[in-house]
Structure 1
Amino acid sequence: MTDSEAERAERAAFILSLRRRGIRDLAVLRALEMVPRGLFVDPTLRRHAYEDVALPIACGQTMSQPSLVALMTEALALNAEHTVLEIGTGSGYQAAVLSHLAAQVVTMDRYRALVGEAQTRFQVLGLRNVAAFVGDGTQGLPGRAPYDRIMITAATGEVPRALVDQLKPGGVLIAPIGAPREVQKLRRFIKDGGNLEASDLMDVRFVPLVAGVAALL
């Protein structure tokens, strides 16, 4: 079996495992199949790329397990006309998945190193509808607002007001709500007027959402 054949077989088994974990949206499954997760992990961890586990990345951050990426993506209920804001670029894997489902993906992170590495991966994959920025995720990117969908990939006690304001009426926001280093609730919010109506999805553990931009990394 050649490397390309092995990769295809690995990805096929990966998608089957996601279906067994309850992911049913065919467009989401196709998006996950199209993104080579191995490109986004540390080379020393490549053998774990398609396992359903969270993996460490640079700057003390983590890359969520694929089933959680799939569930959060599915919960956004995306279509090809949507503009998405992602808070917490990390490796860039989640943004790459979103790029196959939305018109435009805007992603931001407080770590310059992570944003730079993610931008390189987006270029390698030819993803022209993803824009990555260094910035304070608690403030969002008002210059590109409003957004149809917002995904926060770090735990916060409450959704920052700036992000609520940047979400379109009727828009969907996904975020882990709770204290850092504790079990949080992954919640799906729908904007109704100036407020958010919430529903719980599952228990999760995410690194904390931190205000500001990292000074050194």
Structure 2
Amino acid sequence: MTDFAARRTMMVDTQVRPSDVTKFPIIDAMLSIARENFVPAAQREAAYMGENLELGSGRVILEPRTLAKMLDALDVSNDELVLDVGAAMGYSSAVIAHMAEAVVALEEDEAMASEAQEALADAGIDNVILHVGPLAEGAAQHGPYDVMLVQGGVAELPLALQDQLKEGGRVACLFMEGALGEVRIGHKQGGTISWRMSFNAGAPVLAGFAKEKAFEF
């Protein structure tokens, strides 16, 4: 019988804390959410590895360090509404739900969304709304959002998502340029988002988040 609780503690002690993530709500959430219940059954043994977990079709569950550092930089508070873009099987949403007032978990893969719904219910998490639809379109009917995170690589943030971020809101995106990526935190002021570099990470670029092709004559 695998001791997942011990692995969870080890994940926090070896991947999260050494990355300068010390905020109690993040540590607490990552210690209390059973990550193994939010990954495909065949990958439970790999749930606590310090790398992205492949889901196929260019989708991943971001490594614990990347998610923790994103949340650290965003500093989510308990009166905020968060859009979790590409929630997959719900792990990131479950973690964010620990620190936010409510989370809208956006997922376009219906099979993953239904697994997320089940895993969240089993974990007794009741402040997450699952929204099934294209990731690049967001979930406007539940917005606007105080905070957004994108669970995968982007070349640019689609306009629909930019529009759903509140004035004064914050967003974390992993911008990929070739094989190298950097997480940037965006702040929306005067209707536009200004970005600053936060840390390096990597993930495949999500469908719908590649650069628009420039028009050529």
Among 176, 179, 187, the residue aligned to 2:184: 187
- Between the aligned partners of 2:143 and 2:60, the Cα distance in structure 1 is 27
2:195 is paired with a residue whose SS is strand
Normalised by the size of structure 1, how large is the TM-score? 0.88
Deviations 1:123-175 (A, max 9, x none): 11111100111112212111111110011123222221221211111110011
Q: Which secondary structure state, in structure 2, belongs to the residue aligned with residue 178 of structure 1?
A: strand
Call closer, same or farther: CA 1:177–1:8 in 2, change over 3 Å.
closer
Task: Identify if the C-alpha distance between structure 1 residues 42 and 209 changes in structure 2 by more than 3 Å, giving closer, same or farther.
Answer: closer
Q: Which runs of 5+ in 1 are unaligned?
A: 213-217
1:8 aligns with 2:5: yes
Q: Shift of residue 60 of structure 1? A: 4.8
CA apart distance, 1:178: 3.2
The correspondence of residues 42-81 of structure 1 with structure 2, limited to 5 A, is 42-57=40-55, 59-81=57-79
Structure with the largest fraction of strand: 2
Q: 1:36-115 maps to which residues of 2 (within 5 A)?
A: 36-57=34-55, 59-115=57-113
Q: Residue 159 of structure 2 aligns with which residue?
A: 161
For the residue of structure 2 that corresponds to 1:158, the secondary structure is coil
- Could you tell me how far apart the structure 2 residues matched to 1:62 and 1:158 are? 18
Residues 34-69 of structure 1, C-alpha deviations (whole Å, 9 max, x = no match): 100111223333232222122222555211111111
Partner of 1:138: 136
Alignment coverage as a number of residue pairs: 208
Q: Who is 1:124 aligned against? A: 122
* Structure 2, gaps ≥5 residues long: 210-217
TM-score normalized by the length of structure 2: 0.88
8 Å CA contact 1:176, 1:187 repeated in 2: yes
